[in-house]
């Protein structure tokens, strides 16, 4: 009897563990480390409600060295305006920062920081991407913030600053949630951040930069994935009922 009870408890525990693992798929999981990945602040209550009805997941991190703990490999300035980009430790906060500052002749131009998603993870039209970044609060205009997203035509779903607990007050946190509408054929697959040089004479200091794709299915087969319908078109995906009679347009030709 004791052996049967022990076996029952073990099976029940395994089942509950499996349920717990599966439940993260539509919440905040990604194929990779996502324990500290926060994303719900970028969506409205209505959007979160509708997202809760579909299957979706977050992609792998598109900027693996965006935590600024290793090196500045991959970060670049397309136009050559910037001084050499490097990662340095802020002596006051003790936090590593990627610093981009233009050369003297281009000090009045935009500071633009670019990176290509790693591991061959290119950007495709229709991709919905959430990019988050933490920057030193050294801007002359405090209400301003670095912008960016993809170096291509895009539709911004939402953008702004957000609060992040347990971080230094010297930094601000911002995000951009957008859909890629058109590829930039000259400079494809580029994510970027930018701000006018006159607003950051000491250079733009980025303490972290993250980007992930929101991946979902096309449940109703209308050519738009479920997330697009919720976030971009403002419609909701129609989930067909297998017992529901097809409309004339959906019936196969005789």
CATH code, residues 40-217+224-231: 2.60.120
Tens-digit pLDDT profile for residues 87-128:
999 999 999 999 999 999 998 899 999 999 976 678 999 999
Q: State the first-to-last Cα distance of the chain, in angstroms, to the nearest integer.
A: 63
Q: Is the pLDDT of residue 194 over 80?
A: yes
Share of the chain above pLDDT 70, in %: 78
Distance CA 205, CA 100 (A): 7
Q: Is the pLDDT of residue 4 over 60?
A: no
User: Is the pTM here over 0.85, yes or no?
Assistant: no
Per the listing, tokens 């607003």 go with 199
Torsion angles phi and psi, residue 35, rounded to 5 = -60, -35
Structural domain boundaries in the chain: 40-217+224-231
CA distances for 215 relative to 72, 127, 138, angstroms: 28, 8, 35
The residue among 159 and 27 whose pLDDT is bigger is 159
CA distances for 253 relative to 9, 51, 250, angstroms: 55, 34, 9
CA nearest 206: which of 122, 106, 154, 139?
A: 139
Show Cβ contacts of residue 231 under 8 Å, excluding neighbours closer than 6 positions.
Answer: 43, 47, 128, 157, 177, 179
């Amino acid at each position: 009897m004791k052996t049967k009870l022990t076996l029952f408890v073990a099976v029940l525990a395994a089942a509950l563990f499996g349920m717990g693992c599966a439940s993260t798929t539509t919440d905040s999981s990604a194929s990779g480390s996502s324990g500290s990945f926060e994303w719900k602040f970028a969506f409205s209550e209505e959007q979160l409600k509708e997202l809760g009805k579909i299957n979706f997941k977050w992609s792998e991190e598109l900027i693996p060295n965006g935590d600024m703990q290793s090196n500045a490999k991959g970060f670049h300035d397309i136009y050559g305006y910037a001084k050499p980009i490097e990662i340095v430790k802020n002596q006051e906060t003790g936090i590593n920062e990627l610093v981009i500052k233009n050369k003297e002749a281009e000090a009045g131009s935009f500071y633009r920081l670019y990176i290509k998603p790693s591991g061959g993870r290119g950007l495709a039209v229709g991709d919905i991407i959430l990019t988050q970044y933490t920057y030193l609060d050294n801007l002359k205009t405090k209400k301003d913030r670095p912008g960016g997203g993809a170096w291509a035509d895009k539709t911004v779903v939402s953008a702004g600053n957000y609060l992040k607990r347990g971080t230094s007050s010297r930094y601000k946190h911002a995000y951009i949630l957008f859909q890629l509408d058109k590829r930039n054929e000259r400079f494809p697959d580029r994510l970027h951040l930018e701000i006018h040089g006159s607003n950051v004479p000491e250079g733009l200091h980025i303490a972290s930069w993250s980007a992930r794709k929101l991946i979902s299915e096309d449940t109703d087969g209308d050519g738009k994935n479920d997330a697009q319908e919720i976030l971009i078109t403002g419609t909701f995906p129609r989930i067909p009922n297998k017992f529901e009679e097809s409309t004339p347009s959906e019936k196969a030709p005789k």
